[in-house]
Each structure stands twice: as C-alpha cells, then as structure tokens.
A and B are shown apart, each in its own frame.
Chain A
Amino acid sequence: MQCVDTPQDAAFRSSARAWLSQHLPLRDNSEFDKGIFYDYPTEVEIAASRGWQRTKFEGGWAGISWPTEYGGAGRSLKDEIIFSQEQAKFRTPPDLQFIAMSQVGHALLDYASDEQRGRLLTPILDGSAIWCQLFSEPSAGSDLGGLACSARRDGDCWIITGEKIWISDGAYADFGLMLARTGSEESRHKGLTCFVVDMRSRGISVLPVRQSSGRSHYSHIVFNDVRVDDFWRVGELNGAWQIALGILMYERLFVGTSIAFNAFGGPRLVDLARLVIASRSSSSARSRVAREHRLARLVVKQHGLWNMSHRLITTVSRGHMVGPETSVAKLAGAEIDELVVDLALDLLNSSREEFDKEDELRLKFEDAFLERPLMKIAGGTSEIQRTIVAERILNLPRST
C-alpha cells in the first residue's frame, strides 16, 4: 500500500505547482481567512475572481477534466482534483466559480444538449459566467420532492413563479441552474424539470439573507413570472430528478475530496495548537493534560479526514465514481470544525494574559463559531448525511 503520487501524477502536480507559483503568492496560514459563508464579495473581489479564472483559461489550466472543444484540458478527474489541491496552497481571490466548475459544469456536460453546451461551457471556463444552483426553497430544502417553485408552459416559453433561498453566489451570478415544478404537487420528484435561468431576466428580485453574524452570504431570490425560453430546458420534461442526483453526486465528489484541505480544516487546527502550547505556562498540570488530549484527539480525527480524502482520490484515480461515502467526509469535517472552535474559544475567552493581543484570532474564531452551524446544514444537513450513509451504504430499510 502506498500513499504517494505515481510518477505521472507527481509530474502533473509539479507542473501545476510551478505554473501557480508564477501567478500567485503562497497562502499564509496566519492570514485572516473569511471562511466559506462570510459575506457577499465586493465588486473588486468579484472582478478578481473572474480575472483569476481568465488567467487559468488562457494558461490552459481551466477545466482540467473538461473536453478540449469547450476550452478544457481534456485530462482526468483525478488531475482536476490534484490541481485543486495545489491551488489551495496559494492565495487566490475568492472562489466564486466553485459551483460552476464542479457540480453545475459537470452536470451540463452530462445532461445539456450539444447546442446548450456550446453556448454555456466556455464562458464558465474563461471566467465570464458565474453560476448559482437554484434548488432550496423556504419550505423545502432537504426534501427536494417538496419543491414548489413552478414553471408553466406558455408557447415556446416557460413562466417561472416562486422563491429560492439559501443561494450561494445568487446576488451576482450570471446564470442559475434551477429545479422547478412542472408536474402536480403529488408528483413529488417525478414532476420536476431543470432549467437554465439568466439571472439578469426581468422579474427576478434578489434579497440578501442576513445571517447570525450580521453579514450575508446567501440570497433569497423571488421569481415573479420570469420567462425562460424552452431552449434552456435541460433534459426531459419532468426528468430533472436524475439531473439533480448527478449534481448532488458531483457536489459530494468535489466537496468530499477537498473538504479536508480547504480553509477551515487544517489552518484552524494549527492556530488552535499554537494557542494550546501558549497556554501551558499559565495552566495547572491537570487542565494542561486535559486540554492537550482534546487537541491531540482532534489532530487524530483531522488526519483521519485527510487520509479519507486520499482514499476517495484513489477511488477516482482508478476510474470509479465516489458516491455516498463522501457523506462521511462532510459529517466528520463539520464535527471536527465544531470541536476545534469550541476549544479555541475556551482558551481565548479565559482571560489569560498571553492572549491579550490575540484580538484578530479571537475574531476569527468567533466568526467561525457563528459560521459553523451552517457546516452542518449546507449541502445536506448532518441528519440527511446520516440517512444517506444508513440507507445507501449500510442498506438499512427505509421507514414505512
């Protein structure tokens, strides 16, 4: 058993790193990291995100696994993951292309018509199109069969009416991939159709959702008789369920293989380790041992998560798709993050003299404290993840 790159992987990783180092500085873990659910990006940040995507496109590093006919590099999914891991080591602009480059883009590659792909995919790769995913609604999130936002036929168009909420990137996205109800309420998931929606269309209102932090990451989007040409229907009428499953599968793949390496995983643990070490001198032997065991146990769990990501990548590298097992990474990642933040705040709020000058770190962990409930909800709640594990991996029966 090995845990090193093959010579080919190592060569690709090396060339990716060399190219990245020519364009970006290395990430400094001590820098303030806004996390995933911080706030709407500024105009400058949006422009920088598009610009970085454009740079990758021009350098031949955008869409590593996408077909060359759309501007991709035509390589494997494994290579795409390797590039993402390398990119995570550098200080990039906010990644506003994640949804487009991961689940939405791959779903379009699988399910969109040739003409749709020809018009939609290259603008994703060259940074000119930011996308959002229009799934959740105020009264239906985990249960997609309960979606109510409707699309009714009007000649060659569809009229979309309803609401979507908890939409990442919704305030500035150029396009959205939407699940809308085209069948009866009773038809549940068999009455859903998938549409591409131009987010600049007349009838769309975008409202920020103010979060517990006081800032807004998500948008609440109201569709008031928005017209969408039938050309932008993806797949069959009432046939969106398979597409939705495909999107969720790609989301799990990209989140599952990156969750252990992204900003909130390791760096916060490193910050925490620094705090624990610094608190040694002012701690009793008993509290020191207890605290260090808490930290060490988190280190062990975080390694489990890292190593699990390696196993997922191994699966992908052998040409297989990963499935519900990525729920494990999400469940474990959210739990570890919560425990890290708890221990850090225990220390930072303990009135220790050595932490008087740690205001920036305190703010960082307080933000994380408010952000972390979202980690157990976004992309499928922890309860949904446990049910996925139980029913799809352990094959336990569904409730009657």
Chain B
Amino acid sequence: MDLVYSDDDEVFRGKVRAILASWRPLDQILERSESECELLTALRRKVADCQSKWGGRAVLTSLRSIVSYEAGYGLAPLASLGSAIVHSLPEAARPSTASDSWNVAIVPEAEIGAASRSGALPARVKALGRPDDKAGTIVLGGEQAWIVIPGGIASIGPASGLDLVQGRQAAIVGEPGKATRLPEISARSLLHSAAIYIAFEQLGGAQRCLDGAVAYTTRRTAFRQPIGAFQSVKHQLADVYVEIELARSNAYRALASMDKSIAAEEPVEKMGAILARVSASDAYTAASKAFMHLQGAHGTVWLNEAHLHLRRARFLCDFFGSPDSWLDRIDLESAAWFDQYRDMEIPDAMR
C-alpha cells in the first residue's frame, strides 16, 4: 500500500515550488508588468530546465502531477492547462506512434496546450514553429482529440470574462491536413489523463486558497482577537480542508490507476478521471470562495490574488466538461465501483 509521493518526488516538488516562489508570477500578473504569455513561456522554460536536470524522470506521471499541482498553487491566473495536456501526450500517442520523441513534458520553445471548447477542429490549422520541432499542439473538444504536428502554436484571442488567459477561446490558425486525428480510444485515454492532471492543478489552487485564508485570518484581528479564532471562521476553513483532502485522495488514487494503465500499455480508464475532476472542482470552488469571503472587502480588490483563483476555479470547473457531465459517465447500473473498492487486492479497482 503506497498512496503517497516518494521522498524523491517531494524533493522535486520543492524545486518546482522554489522556482515559482522566486519568480513571483502572481505579483507580476497583478501589477501587469509582463504579459501573461511571456510569463507562461518563461515558466515552461524554467520548469523544463528543472525536469531535464532531473535525469529524465520528467516522464513519470507523479512528477507531472506535481508540476500541475504546483502550477495551480503558485500560478493561478496563468493556466498550466497546456502542461497538463502535454503531460498526456506520450500516453495518447504511444498506441500509434510509439516514439520516445514524444516524451516531452514541458516544451519551452512553443506556446502549447491550446484548447478548443467548440468540439470541432477549427477550419484552418497552420503548423508554426521549426520543421524539426517534435512538439505538438493538442486540440481537445468533447471526447475528440487531434494532435497537430509539428510544433503548432495557438494564438490567444480576447479575454472572456472569467479567466485571464485560458478562458480565452483559443483560435488555431493554420491549414487543414496537418492534423492527425487520434483513434477514439486514444482520444478518450488522452481526455482522461489530461482531466487527472487538471484535477491536480485545481487541487493546487485550492490548497493555495486555503493557505492564504489561514494566513489572513491568523493575522487579521477584530474584536481584539484574530478572526481565525472565531468558531464560524474555523469551521468554514475546516470544511474547505475536508473537501480538499477528499479531492486529494481521489486524485492520488486516479494517479495510481493511471500509472498502472500506462505500465500495462492500456488506455487510461474513466473512473479515476471522473472522481478526480468532480471532487477537485468542488474543492477549488469552495476554497476560492472562502478565500475571498474571509478577507472581507480586502478580498475583492484587484491586487489581492483571491479574484484570480475565483476566476480560475470557475473556469476550470466547466472546462473539459462540467462536473455534471463527468457525473453522467458513472455507470450507476453497475455496483462494480463498490465491490472493487471493497476488495483492496484488486488493482484494477478504477475501472
């Protein structure tokens, strides 16, 4: 039984978190000193450097999940959605292309991970980037997926209301015929693994909100005591903690299941994705609301990061399918989800 990150994984997490902390991306976003896209590109370069120094372990799902989590924790307004999708690329591509060149966790040279919510491949797809670039842009919509090779780049359109970067509908500019449509089973597998990584990103954001709320309510005094000493405040935060821990438990189990699928060269199954996505959406939503509310009016100003999380939580909640749409995928007719969990010896419990 081993449902926990290894010590080596935690060292890696420390390095990723240190990069983000030293770089202070939230401050830069809030002060508008750099464009989001420049920041995102720079971040990817830094994290890719870190991963390459890690001796090739970057392809491990546990490290990818850590990158997603830490990006959610330290980088709320700058979606790491792109990294989540690229994380999924090797698994998705393996059945058809089986090439080591796809083992790229973070690609620093290109803007990747463009996403379309339209459910259809945009009419014009143009391959940008160097011809020998092995990176690809994945376009996902509904349960369909295409890989655009080589080195596609997404142009970012105007902002939608909520999400500062990824809420913008990605417009793919290019020529048709450059896209490779994945087989359905691969597309589903890609969707499921990307959903799991996004859940880690949501989980990181939720933890950031909880940490921020705890710090503020410990520091801020009212009626001659820290507001965090009031039971109503404590209990709100305890409830958020419970949501996060349940979501973390589901995400860890989903990751374990994904590891097993990859090792067996099988598609990533849906149950882990459902559990991780739904519970992480709930947790980030609850945490971001509490983070803003418990700071009172201070929580509502631009220079407070709370609105960034509120936006991001709302956007990610609906992105890649709303929680309800994921719930629709549970096979209620079969109580296998119960029996298999009761029997811990069965490693295929996440079917």
Contacts and interface: CB of A to CB of B under 8 A. Distances in A.
Interface of A: 1-6, 9-10, 13-14, 78, 85, 89, 261, 266, 269-270, 273-274, 276-277, 292-293, 295-297, 299-301, 303-308, 310-311, 313-315, 317-318, 325, 328, 331-332, 383, 385-387, 389-391, 393-400
Nearest to A398: B229
Given A328-B245, A399-B230, A399-B231, A261 B238 contact: no
Contacts of B242: 328, 331-332, 389
Nearest to A89: B342
A1 B3 contact: yes
B341 interface: yes
A1 B250 contact: no
B338 A266 contact: yes
Interface in B300-351: 324, 327-328, 330, 332-333, 335, 337-338, 341-345, 347, 349
Given A1-B2, A311-B4, A328-B245, A261 B250 contact: no
Interface of B: 1-5, 61-62, 210, 214, 217-218, 224-226, 228-231, 233-235, 237-239, 241-242, 245-247, 249-250, 252-253, 255-257, 259-260, 274-275, 278-279, 324, 327-328, 330, 332-333, 335, 337-338, 341-345, 347, 349
Contact of B327 (A270, A274, A300): A300
A85 B278 CA distance: 27
A276 B327 CA distance: 15
B337 A303 contact: yes
Contacts of B237: 390, 394, 396
Contact of B345 (A4, A78, A400): A4
Nearest to B61: A1
Nearest to B244: A328
Given A2-B259, A394-B214, A394-B241, A266 B225 contact: no
5 contacts: A261-B342, A276-B332, A297-B278, A397-B218, A397-B226
B279 A3 contact: no
B235 A310 contact: no
Contact of B4 (A9, A314, A393, A397): A314
Given A293-B324, A295-B332, A387-B231, A3 B345 contact: no
Nearest to B256: A3
Contacts of A332: 242, 246
A304 B337 contact: no
B333 A2 contact: no
Contacts of B252: 1, 3, 307, 311
Contacts of B330: 296, 299-300
Given A301-B246, A394-B214, A1 B5 contact: yes
A307 B253 contact: yes
Nearest to A294: B327
Contact of A297 (B225, B247, B259, B327): B327
B229 A386 contact: no
Contact of A397 (B228, B246, B324): B228
B236 to A, nearest CB: 9
A296 B330 CA distance: 7
A310 B229 contact: no
B71 to A, nearest CB: 19
Contact of B1 (A3, A304, A331, A399): A3
A65 B306 CA distance: 48
A157 to B, nearest CB: 42
Contacts of A78: 1
Contacts of B5: 1
Contacts of A308: 245-246, 249
A395 B214 contact: yes
Nearest to A310: B3
Contact of A3 (B2, B62, B230, B324): B2
Which of A313, A393, A396 has the most C-beta atoms of chain B within 10 angstroms of its own C-beta?
A: A396
Contacts of B255: 1
B341 A306 contact: yes
Contacts of A6: 1-2
B325 to A, nearest CB: 10
Contact of A277 (B62, B225, B245, B333): B333
Contacts of B229: 396-400
Most chain A CB within a 10 A radius of its CB, from B231, B242, B259? B242
A4 B341 CA distance: 11
A390 B218 CA distance: 11
A261 B339 CA distance: 11
Contacts of B4: 1, 311, 314-315, 318
Contacts of A299: 330, 332, 337
Interface centre among A89, A299, A391, by most chain B C-beta atoms within 10 angstroms, is: A299
B335 A273 contact: yes
B327 to A, nearest CB: 4
B234 A310 contact: no
Nearest to B251: A307
Contacts of A398: 229
Nearest to A2: B2
Given A299-B330, A385-B238, 4 more contacts: A299-B337, A301-B246, A310-B344, A394-B241
Given A304-B249, A310-B253, A400 B238 contact: no
A17 to B, nearest CB: 9
A2 B235 contact: no
Given A270-B335, A391-B234, A300 B278 contact: yes
Given A301-B279, A304-B279, A307-B249, A328 B235 contact: no
A89 B242 CA distance: 27
A9 B2 CA distance: 11
Cβ-closest 5 pairs across A and B: A304-B246, A390-B234, A307-B249, A386-B238, A296-B327
B3 A3 contact: yes
B1 A396 contact: no
Contacts of A295: 332
A266 B341 contact: yes
Contacts of A306: 249, 341
B255 to A, nearest CB: 5
A295 B338 CA distance: 13
B253 A303 contact: yes
A14 B344 CA distance: 11
Contacts of A13: 344-345
A366 B237 CA distance: 32
Contacts of B228: 390, 396-397
